[in-house]
């Protein structure tokens, strides 16, 4: 485990073996980071946020509680995971809002998914396993497994495989990864991995 001197890591946070936390990053109370995670310069990991093993949170990303990241999640530079559906600085009577005046909602990111630089995920949303959110996108609804989404608001523009490469249409609802030759089948807007035995 490596934590540089300028990082602010709560003594109540749990940091897994092999993880690195870089300059000016902040990891709050009760945050849990798995093994071999990397938290980049100036990144923020909120109170009680959980990261699985082998996650990367790049420079200046903001991961607000109660976000949950599964294993192998990539968070690009400047990404924001929000946590307030109806944000206000004040209550209707004009008084300053406190932690007791709203209920945080989180972003759930499944195994192997990637969120591109400067993207914003507006909670509550689920980002599916092995999906990719293009840089600069604003995600306002759930993203299916293996989906490639882009835009404001983000919409599915294709499919990606585990390698992250865009899948090629092989016809009859079958999609193929140009890197690994892995095959997938699309059924009712859902992409499923095919085993070598599957026809």
Q: Residue 99 has what pLDDT?
A: 85
pTM (2 d.p.): 0.94
Q: Which residues pair with residue 36 across a beta bridge? A: none
Bridge-based pairing state of the strands 20-21 and 168-171 = unpaired
Q: Please write the tens of the pLDDT for every residue from 36-77.
A: 999 999 999 999 999 999 999 999 999 999 999 999 999 999
Residues 6+ apart with CB under 8 A from 131: 110, 113, 114, 143, 144, 145, 146, 147, 148, 149, 160
Q: Residue 25 has what pLDDT?
A: 98
Residues 123 and 49 in one domain: yes
- Please work out, in degrees rounded to the nearest 5, the angle formed at the alpha carbon of residue 31 by the alpha carbons of 83 and 117: 55
Q: How far apart are CA 183 and CA 165, in angstroms?
A: 13
What's the number of domains the chain is made of? 2
Kindly state the average pLDDT of the residues 134-147.
Answer: 98
Q: Please write the tens of the pLDDT for every residue from 143-161.
A: 999 999 999 999 999 999 9
Q: Is the dihedral of CA 54, 39, 106, 32 positive or negative?
A: positive
> Six-digit token pair at 45?
């990991």
> Six-digit token pair at 182?
């892995």
Residues 156 and 66 in one domain: yes
Residues 169 and 114 in one domain: no
Residues 121 and 39 in one domain: yes
Q: Tell whether the model's pLDDT for residue 197 goes beyond 70.
A: no
Q: Residue 196 has what pLDDT?
A: 57
Q: Residue 18 has what pLDDT?
A: 98
Kindly state the average pLDDT of the residues 82-99.
Answer: 94
Residues 196 and 136 in one domain: no
- Please work out, in degrees rounded to the nearest 5, the angle formed at the alpha carbon of residue 89 by the alpha carbons of 86 and 90: 95
Domain coverage including residue 10: 2-160
Residues 120 and 192 in one domain: no
């Amino acid at each position: 485990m490596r934590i540089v001197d300028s990082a602010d890591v709560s003594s109540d946070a749990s940091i897994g073996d092999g993880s690195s936390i870089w300059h000016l990053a902040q990891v709050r109370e009760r945050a849990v980071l798995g093994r071999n995670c990397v938290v980049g310069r100036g990144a923020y990991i909120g109170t009680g946020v959980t990261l699985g093993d082998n996650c990367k949170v790049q420079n200046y990303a903001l991961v607000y509680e109660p976000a949950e990241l599964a294993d192998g999640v990539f968070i690009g530079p400047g990404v924001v995971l929000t946590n307030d559906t109806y944000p206000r600085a004040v209550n209707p009577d004009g008084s300053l809002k406190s932690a007791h005046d709203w209920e945080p909602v989180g972003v759930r990111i499944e195994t192997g998914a990637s969120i591109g630089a400067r993207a914003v995920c507006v909670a509550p949303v689920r980002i599916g396993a092995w999906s990719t959110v293009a840089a600069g996108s604003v995600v306002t609804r759930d993203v299916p497994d293996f989906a490639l989404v882009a835009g404001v608001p983000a919409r599915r523009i294709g499919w990606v495989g585990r390698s992250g490469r865009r899948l090629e249409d092989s016809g009859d609802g079958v999609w193929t990864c140009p890197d690994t030759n892995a095959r997938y089948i699309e059924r009712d807007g859902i992409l499923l991995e095919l085993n070598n035995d599957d026809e």
